[in-house]
Structure 1
């Protein structure tokens, strides 16, 4: 099978592993860098911004969930555009080797990302800037080629931190309608919005309350959205702070994916666009809606039949898909229709390295500019630990694709764990077992085992023996409250555990208890492959905030000598306590630190002299 020719790509990196810290005197710190983008005559197909965070070399990762902005300004132009918005994670217990990467499509800003551009990374917040920060890389991945539609103009229509809930100054006094004269060449327009809610009044608004937002075009409602995001399934987990709490269109450790709505603009005619918030008033208001919105005018789509492979979700090694991988079931891809005709049929060819390609004749309906997830009908599995997974999209609507270079993609497949036919699901409940259910099912949804919370008791161990036939399976453990089996903010709920054991009681998979809304674990059962024990020690300390008493839970298949240290967070050479345990394999270890000063400490665990665990403890007043 021949592949379409490769896309020509370049990377423009404006900030390369730069250490970003706050300016507590101002609450914001600006890092302006000039970068050279393609000249205006160069045809651009797409621009994806890759944002990478790491812990700096000389200081710790930062602690707080602050709003960061990435803004662009062309040389000799005073107009500044917010092209991306980042909500920083709670990095309190990230270690030096930590890193994470997010992506967002910024193609709609291709008119201004030309020639010499000033990229400003703005980090807000007030935390200490001598010992905490981030190492940030801003990488623009630019793909050359015929654009989906040629952009004509971009208009900044709203940009401010708008007060919300003030009876004497309603937000609609500021979110006033904007009228634009469409260019004679304009065929359609798109509104693109970055919006996040902040502040905290008596009702939790604007950070912790759900409100809707309307988009009105020429007096008619064209879109309504609830500005709310569930955070318990964040792929960046666990974090040190209240990362599981749902928020107003954002989560800690999240690169905002802007809202986009197509507008039926008529060429050469005036049109009016208006953003309206759900009516809201309250006493002692403090809510703010942080909004930047743009309208981009486009010529007609350059092709009638044009499909793009946007992403491969499963299998994938991409960090934002880590909750869904490693994977050995039915592949999942994301496609976008960039042709003016609705996409109704498509041939999808896919395979792992060394395998014969499989073909899937997809049938459905995807409108112009819309995306869809497609589940492919054949399971993927390789005897190799890693392999490349290939996907090619062919014949949209039975026609030749107008731009075939973005029809091809590949991802890295990691073989899922091999488990035995008989496994034991070990579940130790916390004090809220009614929040939990768990099940095992195969790739096609057939349930092999399931258990709900009807008869479960608090702080109780359950062991369920499950016998499986060869195949691909998914173990799903749900927590309806979205706070996992432990969460530092809810110490009174206690701590639970989940493990998968073999028939001899040895761990073959151990899960962290601070997982948010669910555990999603894919595995395979095969007669021709043996399983591998999870011999990495499982270590956890609870609670993380305490008056003094803490419990360290330790589980390891192999007895060994371990050492536990309590050290000062700011000076780890200062050892407050040391405990040695010999030929130790499992059990709770209890400590009382109430005699120590009320500050933060690290608890560290060493196995045969090697550090295997490090976490932060806060002694509270």
Structure 2
């Protein structure tokens, strides 16, 4: 069972006195709830939905959408739907990095990190510089659960009518919490913080990309413990391979591959390298 809590922001000129919401998980039956109260222009409010019973799957998709506002159909349907993947929260360290590449309307982007009891830990935005990579560093306490929220007041995420941007939230061990481009008006992600215990350090896998972010050329550096064949693939955020597979024999020792990213669209990519012993190394690549 789950008791969803969502945050509603009024981007219209009229106060909100009632909102009819519908929600479901996967193919389970849809539930309806009508909230009444008052939300003024550009004000926000958390709304707790009634408990929902379902058979868990991993992952399960929760879909919530607004059916009516003030007893009328919503005039702006672009930002009235929220989808959320219900998976076990990722365990990360206490030092987090949030990178946001703004689109042409940076003033629409805001974010926050809160504890599970809704206490504010960190926040940012709205921003003023368009098409700019913004890097935020956040420190959270260990042994706590948190929720990250990213909002777009325009309801179209960081793509595509206002240019192409992206965001990625990851810890100092390079563990990704959430990242993306298209998310409508809001994206949510929960995570659990821990002081590095039991967390895989990707840097020990000897795969580095320099510079990262890259705009022209990126050097993929890796170490070969023995001579053998290495297979390299690059995927976008949708899991689509965007480069030809490189399969080559490398000698033992430190190696470097140069990658021209000038023709790649701005965004986040995943470099996958299959080593001779079939061990798979992965690293994030950000193209500006």
- TM-score where L is the length of structure 2: 0.48
Structure with greater contact order relative to length (CA < 8 Å, sep ≥ 6): 2
Bigger CA radius of gyration = 1
